[in-house]
Amino acid sequence: MGKRHKIMITFDEHCALVALPKKPRLRKGDTIRWDSPHGPVRINFPDRSPFGARGEVAGSTSHRVTAYRGTFKYGCGVTVKSGKHIGWPGETAPGSGGEVVIET
């Protein structure tokens, strides 16, 4: 059984969404999920993801890593309590996101 990883999504001083830790290192079989105290999180892998899915996934769901190795960039968005969407997709904080590194 792999390790469980939780990524916290919060805001930086420019109101962009950032992931903490910024560049988690995982292995095949680990699980990952994204959460935010600000609201529900959506994650988008524009090229490929470490768990075989392409495109958008729910951050609050645990996803099992199926990749053996690589760096996977993603964008993220949060719908805050007022209903406003911040981050990806859209023009509010377009730099919002992070990377996941899968090690052998």
pLDDT the model gives residue 91:
62
Task: Calculate the CA 38 to chain-centre distance.
Answer: 15
pLDDT the model gives residue 65:
92
Residue type, 51: F
Task: Calculate the CA 52 to chain-centre distance.
Answer: 14
Mean pLDDT, all residues of the chain = 86
Q: What is the pLDDT of residues 20-48, one digit of tens each?
A: 998 899 999 999 999 999 999 999 888 88
Q: What is the pLDDT of residues 8-17, one digit of tens each?
A: 999 877 777 8
